[in-house]
Amino acid sequence: KSAISLYVTSTVEDVADLLEQLGPHKTGVGCIYLKNLANIHEPTLKKLIRHGLKEAARIDAAFERSAKG
């Protein structure tokens, strides 16, 4: 059976508090594996996705600043 992979832009430890609320999952280096979305706490999943988008935007902005300098 395959799992859905959710890649995080920060470390798994940075979102440990959210992972506790998520539901059944496994983690790898920078990755969260979900076997069944029906068992996942959807509001927490949304928070994880928002966190990842904010982190990606922060990294992108830092890269843009360093490229200009």
pLDDT digit string (tens) for 37-58?
Answer: 999 999 999 999 999 899 889 9
Provide the phi-psi class of 5: left if phi over 0, else alpha when psi is between -120 and 50, else beta: beta
pTM of the model: 0.81
User: Is the pLDDT reported for residue 29 higher than 90?
Assistant: no
pLDDT recorded at residue 28? 87
Report the pLDDT value the prediction gives residue 26, as an integer from 0 to 100.
94
3-state DSSP helix/strand/coil percent for the chain, to nearest 5? 60, 15, 25
CA distance 60 to 38: 33
pLDDT at 20 over 80: yes
